[in-house]
Structure 1
């Protein structure tokens, strides 16, 4: 019976793995290849997608037509009234009928192939044989290009090249303009990210939503808008024999991104932004906050990290009670929401998830604004208009024990000896290397709270001697305090979880922390 069960188990496992493997979608390493699928129109494809070798077609067209590569775009792409190419296929971006779209591709592609074939030139399929293009092996392949990031260094490069002519890239859409051909204009002082109006994945406020609606009608999502603007500019420069940006997919979509450290010395886009801001909510009951704007600029990848809707000041959309412009999100939520990556507290919370920080912060829940207390809130709400100068702090070996021995529950194992000073020194060094950590940790007492996590500093009689773990956690389980683990569980959950989150190689076994006692001496 056991043997039969084992055989059945192997058969089920084999078929499960086989089915799972067949359903996997291997990602094709993009080589200037384009995936033609239009799933938004066709939904389920009868013959699967076409993997279109874009660069191969450009090279072939240039050779057959005896033209520079930059002059072959018009063979497949239409121009608008301004002479700019639309980088969909023959206006396919505006077609909503699946039958019409299918006929467009078949007619245009086959006509081109047949024309070249009649001239005895090497070309693609000339008759409608589905599997010549819709290849079976392509059905499970997914072509994905890495996201392109137009970072501060690229922006500065363009600013210098075009001698600060911002109108070449930036524009606003005047939703009130009746003549829609005049609605797209440049207005100095309104330059901001393309993402605000062309990223359809984000929820927008009432003002931007109207513009996003127009962008959707024109099929100008962030990909199409960027290709329309950037590639046409690069093409024109190439045709004029000027220094130009790339036209090939892989030269922009490299998957390589500069770090914040590499971008620190790169000038930020100029919008007359202040070096520092005193955030003081009108009629607010809390003291104002001195905000170092230039510091945050230098320590973020882009302005959208904070300015999630526009580059206007926070107060323009968020006040004490909430405004329509800000979706009635009031100032308390805008600055303190733990569920938002664009709020101050939400952003700071993400820093605590870093590997080197999470060992302590795993056990320390973020403070909610509505239950915050004096010492917590006053760290930012100082009422001072000048930002505080952040200073690192040094350890004093006189006040910190070099080694701590834990022997409250020794039984099968020897007492644990903790390199106390070494641990505190490591945590302090990590804190001192980060300005945000240094600002909020402030002194050694905060570092100590990582382990001595429930003790309240203002209630302690001796500040330099916080209570021991055994003062709160009983050696045996306390049924009257079911949420409080017994002492052994407290040690193991705190120590082991910290080691896991900061990815220490050791300890992993019991003996790595405490040696096992000789068997006959365990119960002596």
Structure 2
């Protein structure tokens, strides 16, 4: 009986050691993979199609600096990829009056408003592949023209080295001073009667109360709201 208990204890001990060893090897493998992957601060992850459901192919790691450098050599600028307009079509009708007169460059690629799944896919495929193909035809160094060269698996990707940015009281003071204490630039509410954004003193709240990751009803996403402000 005692011999059986002793064997079970040893078996349990060996299983525990084996599990710990396997976990350690797994963590080490992930760490080594992370160290071997190139990291850059200018990486823009193109995963726009996620809003339409599961991705058919891996998201794209877009190297922004690489493209702006190439455009500069061709004497082109940001407007090659980013459109602009005094009245953003991307802004919902209910918010047009609130941003009237703003002439900003859209953070979206080759469009000013949200579009359907096929339209967005065609915009990326047509413009990116056409640009790369034309450069190759001119015997210039260019980017990929096939699906797998853009949509790479995780182990072949370039990772972003950017870290999440916090917003503390010090940063708030600097923003407030830069905006000459115009709190309404960031803190506002939507007035249903006038269909405009209004500032209500002492009712300032976080932008994220209304602006989420994606467009919801008449509220633009947080990323676009940040750019417009």
Q: Name the TM tier (shorter chain).
A: 0.5 to 0.7
Cα gap change, 1:132 to 1:167, in 2 (>3 Å)? same
Asked if 1:132 corresponds to 2:170, the answer is no
TM-score when scaled to structure 1? 0.32
Asked if 1:83 corresponds to 2:103, the answer is yes
- Check the 8 A contact 1:32/1:55 in 2, yes or no: yes
- Check the 8 A contact 1:51/1:138 in 2, yes or no: no
TM-score when scaled to structure 2? 0.64
**What are the ranges of 5 or more consecutive residues in structure 2 without an aligned counterpart?**
1-6, 88-101
Within 2, Cα distance between the matches of 1:117 and 1:140? 23
- C-alpha deviation, 1:31, in angstroms: 1.3
Q: Which has the higher helix share?
A: 2
- C-alpha deviation, 1:76, in angstroms: 1.6
Superimposed CA distance per residue, residues 170-227 of structure 1 (whole angstroms, 9 cap, x where no aligned partner): 44321233xxxxx3334462672323322469xxxxxxxxxxxxx6135623233113
* 1:235 alignment partner in structure 2: none
- Check the 8 A contact 2:41/2:160 in 1, yes or no: no
Cα gap change, 1:158 to 1:107, in 2 (>3 Å)? same
Written as runs of structure 1 = structure 2, the 5 A alignment for 1:263-342 is none
Asked if 1:176 corresponds to 2:190, the answer is no
Q: Secondary structure at the match of 1:185?
A: strand
* 1:198 alignment partner in structure 2: 211
* 2:167 alignment partner in structure 1: 150
* 1:56 alignment partner in structure 2: 66
Written as runs of structure 1 = structure 2, the 5 A alignment for 1:401-440 is none
Within 1, Cα distance between the matches of 2:68 and 2:22? 44
* 1:108 alignment partner in structure 2: 127
- C-alpha deviation, 1:86, in angstroms: 2.1
Cα gap change, 1:16 to 1:37, in 2 (>3 Å)? farther
- C-alpha deviation, 1:103, in angstroms: 2.1
Within 2, Cα distance between the matches of 1:120 and 1:219? 46
Asked if 1:227 corresponds to 2:227, the answer is yes
* 2:197 alignment partner in structure 1: 185
Within 2, Cα distance between the matches of 1:92 and 1:165? 27
Superimposed CA distance per residue, residues 1-42 of structure 1 (whole angstroms, 9 cap, x where no aligned partner): x9xx9xxx7xx8699659956789949745121111236335
* 1:383 alignment partner in structure 2: none
Within 1, Cα distance between the matches of 2:210 and 2:112? 22
Within 2, Cα distance between the matches of 1:219 and 1:116? 39
Within 1, Cα distance between the matches of 2:121 and 2:190? 34
- Check the 8 A contact 2:41/2:162 in 1, yes or no: no
**What are the ranges of 5 or more consecutive residues in structure 1 without an aligned counterpart?**
178-182, 202-214, 230-524
- C-alpha deviation, 1:58, in angstroms: 1.6
Cα gap change, 1:198 to 1:46, in 2 (>3 Å)? closer
Within 2, Cα distance between the matches of 1:199 and 1:190? 23
Count of residues paired in the alignment = 198
Q: Secondary structure at the match of 2:167?
A: coil
Within 2, Cα distance between the matches of 1:96 and 1:109? 18
Cα gap change, 1:78 to 1:19, in 2 (>3 Å)? farther
- C-alpha deviation, 1:52, in angstroms: 0.7
Within 2, Cα distance between the matches of 1:165 and 1:59? 36
Superimposed CA distance per residue, residues 401-456 of structure 1 (whole angstroms, 9 cap, x where no aligned partner): xxxxxxxxxxxxxxxxxxxxxxxxxxxxxxxxxxxxxxxxxxxxxxxxxxxxxxxx
Asked if 1:123 corresponds to 2:142, the answer is yes
- Check the 8 A contact 1:79/1:85 in 2, yes or no: yes
Within 1, Cα distance between the matches of 2:158 and 2:23? 19
Q: Secondary structure at the match of 2:181?
A: coil
Cα gap change, 1:23 to 1:134, in 2 (>3 Å)? same
Cα gap change, 1:160 to 1:44, in 2 (>3 Å)? closer
